[in-house]
Amino acid sequence: MADLLSHVLVAYAAFTVASWQADWLTDEWIAVGTGGAAIPDLIKVEIVVGSGTIETVLGVPFDVSAVGTLGGVLLVAGAIALLFGERRYRAYCLLVAGGCSALVLDGMRKYADGRAGDWLYPVPWNPPSPNLYVSSDSTVLGVVLFVALVVVTLNRRVFGGSE
Amino acid sequence: MSPIRRGVMFLLLVGVIGGLCVHYEATEDQRDPYPAAEDIDADYDRHVGETALLIGTVESVDRDAGTARLRVDHDGGAFTMTLAEFRTTVEPGGTVQAYGTLEAERTLRVSRTVVVNESGGSKLYKYAVSVAGAALVLGLFFRHWRINLETVAFEVRNRD
On whether both B65 and B7 belong to a single domain, the answer is no
* B72: β partners: B79
Q: Considering the domain boundaries, does residue A40 fall inside one?
A: yes
Q: Do residue A66 and residue B129 have CB atoms under 8 angstroms apart?
A: no
Mean pLDDT over A7-25 rounds to 95
State residue A2's pLDDT score: 55
Residue A25's pLDDT band, with cuts at 50, 70 and 90, is: very high
Is A55 among the domain residues?
yes
Of B20, B97, B136, the CB nearest to A75: B20
Residues B151 and B107 in one domain: no
> Is residue B87 within 8 angstroms of chain A, CB to CB?
no
Domain annotation covers residue A132: yes
pLDDT, average across residues B51-78 = 93
Query: CATH number of the domain that B55 lies in?
Result: 2.40.50.140
Q: Which residue of B has its CA nearest to A10?
A: B133
- Kind of pairing between the strands at B145-148 and B67-74: unpaired
Same domain, yes or no: B59 and B98: yes
Which structural domain, as residue segments, surrounds residue A19? 4-157
Regarding whether B65 and B104 lie in a shared domain, the answer is yes
Distance from CA of B160 to the nearest CA of A (A): 14
Do residue B101 and residue B138 come from a single domain? no
Residue A163 pLDDT level (bands cut at 50, 70, 90): low
Question: Are both B27 and B39 inside the same structural domain?
Answer: no
Looking at per-residue pLDDT, the higher value among B54 and B33 belongs to B54
Whether residue B160 is predicted with pLDDT greater than 60 in this model: the reply is no
Examine residue A162 and state whether it is found in any structural domain, yes or no: no
Contact across the interface for B134 and A4, Cβ inside 8 Å: yes
| Residue B100: predicted pLDDT | 96
Q: Is residue A138 part of a domain?
A: yes
The structural domain count of chain B equals 3
**Residues B81, B39 share a domain:** yes
Would the CB atoms of B28 and A69 count as touching at under 8 Å? Answer: no
* pLDDT, averaged across chain A: 91
Give the chain B residue nearest A60 (alpha carbons).
B22
**Residue range A44-51: average pLDDT?**
82
The three state secondary structure string of chain B is CCHHHHHHHHHHHHHHHHHHHHHHHHCHHHHCCCCCHHHHHHCHHHHCCCEEEEEEEEEEEECCCCEEEEEEEECCEEEEEEEECCCCCCCCCCEEEEEEEEECCCEEEEEEEEEEECCHHHHHHHHHHHHHHHHHHHHHHHHHEEEECCCCEEEECCCC
Percent of residues, chain B, with pLDDT higher than 90: 74
Q: State chain B's mean pLDDT as an integer.
A: 91
User: Does A68 have pLDDT greater than 90?
Assistant: yes
The answer as to whether A31 is a domain residue is yes
Within 8 A of A69 by CB-CB distance, chain B residues are 24
- Is residue B99 within 8 angstroms of chain A, CB to CB? yes
Tens of pLDDT along B98-127? Answer: 999 999 999 999 999 999 888 877 778 878
Size of the A and B interface in Cβ pairs below 8 Å: 164
Minimum distance, in Å, between the CA of residue A104 and any CA atom of chain B: 18
Tally of structural domains, chain A = 1
Domain identity same for B99 and B44: yes
> Do B158 and B139 fall into the same domain?
yes
A92 has a pLDDT exceeding 50: yes
Parallel, antiparallel, or unpaired for β B153-156 and B145-148? antiparallel
> Is the pLDDT score of A85 beyond 70?
yes
Q: Which residues in chain B are contacts of A105 at CB distance < 8 A?
A: none
Closest Cβ–Cβ partner in A8, A112, A118 for B133: A8
Q: Which residues contact A52 (CB under 8 A, 6 or more apart)?
A: B75, B76
Contact A121 B132 (CB under 8 A): no
Q: Which of A63, A110, A143 to mutate to test the interface with B (most CBs of B within 10 A)?
A: A63
Q: Do the chains contact at B133 and A41, CB–CB below 8 Å?
A: yes
More confident residue, A50 or B134: B134
**Whether residues B93 and B144 fall in one domain:** no
Mean pLDDT in residue range A1-24: 90
Q: In which domain, by residue range, is B66 found?
A: 34-118
Task: Decide if A163 is inside a domain.
Answer: no
Which chain B residues are within 8 Å of A130, Cβ to Cβ? Answer: none
The minimal CB distance from B112 to the residues A83, A112, A135 is found for A112
Same domain, B109 and B141: no
For residue range A109-150, list pLDDT tens digits in order.
Answer: 999 999 988 999 999 888 999 999 887 778 888 999 999 999
Residue A99: pLDDT above 80? yes
Cβ contacts of A55 on chain B, cutoff 8 Å? 25, 75
Q: Which of B25, B34, B114 sits opposite A61 (nearest CB)?
A: B25
Would you state the pLDDT for residue B2?
A: 84
Residue B158 pLDDT > 90: no
What is the model's pLDDT at position A1? Answer: 43
Identify the band that residue A162 occupies on the pLDDT scale cut at 50, 70 and 90: low
Would residue A110 count as lying in a domain?
A: yes
